[in-house]
Amino acid sequence: MGNLGLSELIVIFVIALLVIGPRRLPEVARGLGKAVKAFQDALKGSSKEDSESKGNPQ
Cα 44 from Cα 10, distance rounded (Å): 30
Q: Where are the domains of the chain?
A: 26-53
Residue 25, CA distances (Å) to 12, 22, 42 in order? 12, 5, 26
Cα 25 from Cα 17, distance rounded (Å): 7
Indicate if the pLDDT at residue 3 is higher than 90.
no
Percentage of residues in the chain having pLDDT higher than 90 = 57
- What does the pLDDT read at residue 27? 95
Asked if 25 and 16 touch (Cβ cutoff 8 Å), the reply is: yes
* CA quadruple 24, 30, 36, 41: dihedral sign: negative
